Amino acid sequence: MHWLKDPSDFPPQSAPAEEVGVCLKHIQSRAGVSQSTASQYMAVLHRANLVTPTKIGPWVHYKRNDECIARLAETIQIHL
């Protein structure tokens, strides 16, 4: 999640990362995991509504859902 906060830290891609998010292949590369592991991890974050996916051609790009993250942080702060 922290990596996606500044998508400009990733290598350039065909679509602007600030608009569509970071390509899964770049997330996978930085994490040093297999494509399937990165895909599963991002799927969990998507189901939790913490990221939003955008499919461009064969690639999926992920962007933080900052509104949902802020609500989650507020809920955790209130209840912990």
User: What single-letter amino acid sits at 58?
Assistant: P
Q: Supply the pTM of this predicted model.
A: 0.89
pLDDT tens, residue by residue, 13-47: 888 888 899 999 999 999 999 999 999 999 999 99
Instruction: Please name each of the domains of the chain with its CATH number.
Output: 3-79 (1.10.10.10)
pLDDT at 14 (0 to 100): 82
Q: Give the separation between CA 14 and CA 67, rounded to whole angstroms.
A: 26
Percent with pLDDT over 90 in the chain:
82
- Sequence-ordered strand ranges (E) for the chain: 22-23, 51-56, 59-64
